Structure 1
């Protein structure tokens, strides 16, 4: 059995969709060609885990003027709350709002194009998984 399953057309892929999903569940690389574009198919959790380790959160927590501040170093995200839990919840909300804006309009802006991996991580993660990423994620 080959470690790569290549499907040369959308029609072929649709006809073999169960095989495509079975192959990805077995850890095989699956590609689908549509015109000149080749797309890889993979389990969402494997992709999320990759981004969990590849994208660094660099969250710093500190107190300022009686509030707890959560700051993502080298990224334009800052949130505050009455305590650490509130500040991190607000940071997650900011990341979710950014991911929506990125998909709607920011992805083509030169200063936002590199945020693709961050956006995918946010979209594929629950709030609890993002809290874990803040604490243990990244390189």
Structure 2
């Protein structure tokens, strides 16, 4: 089957099942609205892709009787008494960052390019984020 393109929101709404089926199958599925065009993509397919193109590069260090996790280039860090606690805390830090990004950071020049990371965070469950942080296969 071919890609699915709808030139208006009304047309897409009338063919919503076809649009969602195309996305589920990995086919290109788009909707034009005014001067913009949006893609409809299967969540898990997009999440897996983002996890590959946005590697965490997390650095974990043992210090002061505990563990610290940080992501180079991002103002994100977490601490914990154990490795697992530090990783769990970093998952929460990532969630807070994604929320802050949605609220206000998306327009800040030093955060605007973190769109992919925010999408990855929002589309992942906690266990998936833990695996991403430690470099476990997705």
TM-score w.r.t. length of structure 1: 0.93
SS of corresponding position for 1:51: helix
Deviations 1:103-135 (A, max 9, x none): 001100101101111100000000100011112
Distance 2:94 2:54 in 1: 14
Alignment partners' CA distance in 2, 1:137 and 1:118: 17
Corresponding residue for residue 134 of structure 2:
135
Counterpart of 1:41 in structure 2 is: 40
Distance 1:7 1:105, change over 3 A: same
Aligned twin of 1:115: 114
Pair 9,128 (structure 1): closer, same or farther in 2 beyond 3 Å: same
1:41 offset after TM fit, Å?
0.6
List structure 1 segments (4+ residues) > 4 angstroms apart after TM superposition: none
State how far apart, in whole Å, the 2-side matches of 1:107 and 1:75 are: 14
Which structure 2 residues correspond to residues 98-113 of structure 1 after superposition, within 5 A? Answer: 98-113=97-112
Q: Unaligned 5+ residue runs, structure 2? A: none
Q: Which has the higher contact order (CA 8 A, sep 6+)?
A: 1
Equivalent residue for 1:64? 63
